[in-house]
Structure 1
Amino acid sequence: MRKNRALGVAAALALAVVAGGGWTAQADSAPEGKPKGHGKIYGYEVVSLPNENVGNFERRTVWCPKGKKVLGGGAEARGEGAELVGSFPTDNHRGWIGLGNQDEFDSVGISVFAICAYTR
């Protein structure tokens, strides 16, 4: 039997629901003399890379469309004894990375998901 392990997907979906509801955040700081404004998140979408076998510990990255930033994401490792060993944003906050391992095999199936949106 093949085991599926997914991390971060529930948190990503919860964030999508919050973002879709018109969630706003108070700015931490503003230039002196200017009032603080509200940040907006809009145009959110979930982008994904479907399952593909890659070498153990090989990173798969899904990118947000141009102009959008990643708000969250997740990854899934598929295969007998597959383990998800990493699921995190890219350094530039424009995508999400997933990687995994399958001890008795040279490759592992990895899917990657990202929640992307415009922010102001």
Structure 2
Amino acid sequence: MRLNTLTTVALATLVGCAGLTAATALPAAASTPPTAVTSTAADFTGYQIVKLPNANVPNFTRRAVKCPAGKRAIGGGAEAQGNRAILVGSFPTEDASGWYGIGRQDGYSDVGISVYVICANVT
């Protein structure tokens, strides 16, 4: 009889990658089939994309776009524009009210950066 087993290290790696905890990711026993993990869905209304148009800024300068009052950032992105431009960072603001974009351009002191944020009312 062949058994499919995982070592603790491999299991911890898989669970960590999936963002799950062992309590919700594993069945109680090897012979028990896994059960579905239930979660509550957030209610998103007022979906809106806000764009900060391209502008040249000094290399490594953060450009930020904010959601309208009362809305939260649920996603976003940025674009570096220019000859040999590189996007260095694209991430939410610390308070989840907007999005940052950071870039640089090889051989130049500035870079074109545009930033987008996806906003919604989150309850």
Q: Output the TM-score relative to the length of structure 2.
A: 0.67
Alignment match, 2:76: 73
Q: CA deviation at 1:48?
A: 0.7
Matched residue pairs, number?
86
Residue pair 1:98, 1:112 contacting (<8 A) in 2 also: yes
Distance 1:26 1:71 in 2: 18
Q: Output the TM-score relative to the length of structure 1.
A: 0.69
Report which of the two has the higher share of strand.
1
Q: What do residues 27-76 of structure 1 show as CA deviations (whole Å, max 9, x unaligned)?
A: 3xxxxxxxxxx531000100010000000000000000000000000000
Bigger-Rg structure (1/2): 2
Structure 1: unaligned runs, 5 residues or longer = 1-24, 28-37
Q: Which amino acid aligns with 1:114?
A: V
Structure 2: unaligned runs, 5 residues or longer = 1-37
Alignment match, 1:62: 65
Residue pair 1:26, 1:39 contacting (<8 A) in 2 also: no
Give the CA RMSD over aligned residues.
1.3
User: What percent identity do the matched residue pairs reach?
Assistant: 53
Comparing both chains, which one has the higher relative contact order based on Cα–Cα distances under 8 Å and sequence gaps of 6 or more? 1
